[in-house]
């Protein structure tokens, strides 16, 4: 062939695939799952928002907390116009994502502070969370679940868990 790469070339995606996380007071290059395992300090989300996201996402998509969903969202929001969050496809432009997520996660944090996460998730899906202040709850539910799916099943490890051959043409060094 004269153009492109041979089938399933394995090349690296570059260091930009990693995020710079605040871990133990130091800026460290790490993947979101590594950052989660090392108790990273979120730079866009508050600790409360980060914890709320992990709790809800883990309920919706088991494995996503350990997979680093909070670190993933935090690092994408930090990326500003280069955010890869799926939200931009469904009505949340990148320049509005930070405000959207902060507002949504404040609402989630408030809701799960006095009710079990399972009850909150069920109420979010039907837009019946008492006192909900933020973007429509069912919309937030859909997007956070999608983010959790990205983190948990959007990688080579996730495909492997589902016994799907990844068959990359160009293999990403990391999932995002």
Using CB under 8 A, list all residues that contact another protein.
1-9, 11, 13, 59-63, 81-82, 84, 86, 88-91, 93-96, 118, 121, 125, 141-142, 145-146, 149-150, 153-155, 158-159, 161-172, 175-176
Nearer to another protein among residue 85 and residue 105 (C-beta): 85
> Which residues make Cβ contacts (< 8 Å) with residue 96, sequence separation at least 6?
none
User: Which residues, in sequence order, are bridge partners of residue 123?
Assistant: none
> Which residues make Cβ contacts (< 8 Å) with residue 89, sequence separation at least 6?
none
Nearer to another protein among residue 29 and residue 93 (C-beta): 93
Which tokens hold the place of 170? 């160009």
Q: What angle do CA 106, 59, 105 make, to 5 degrees?
A: 10
Which tokens hold the place of 153? 């099943």
Residue 25 CB, nearest distance to another protein (Å)?
29
Residue 28 CB, nearest distance to another protein (Å)?
22
Nearer to another protein among residue 106 and residue 171 (C-beta): 171
């Amino acid at each position: 062939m004269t153009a492109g790469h041979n089938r399933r070339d394995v090349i690296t995606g570059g260091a930009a695939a990693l995020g710079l996380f605040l871990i133990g007071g130091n800026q460290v290059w790490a993947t979101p799952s590594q950052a989660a395992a090392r108790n990273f300090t979120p730079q866009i989300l508050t600790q409360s928002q980060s914890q709320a996201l992990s709790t809800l996402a883990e309920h919706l998509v088991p494995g996503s907390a350990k997979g680093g969903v909070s670190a993933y969202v935090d690092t994408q929001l930090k990326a500003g116009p280069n955010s890869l969050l799926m939200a931009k496809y469904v009505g949340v432009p990148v320049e509005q994502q930070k405000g959207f997520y902060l507002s949504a996660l404040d609402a989630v944090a408030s809701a799960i502070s006095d009710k079990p996460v399972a009850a909150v998730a069920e109420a979010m899906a039907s837009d019946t969370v008492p006192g909900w202040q933020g973007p429509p709850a069912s919309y937030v539910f859909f997007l956070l679940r999608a983010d959790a799916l990205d983190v948990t099943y959007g990688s080579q490890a996730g495909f492997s868990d589902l016994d799907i051959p990844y068959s990359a043409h160009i293999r990403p060094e990391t999932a995002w």
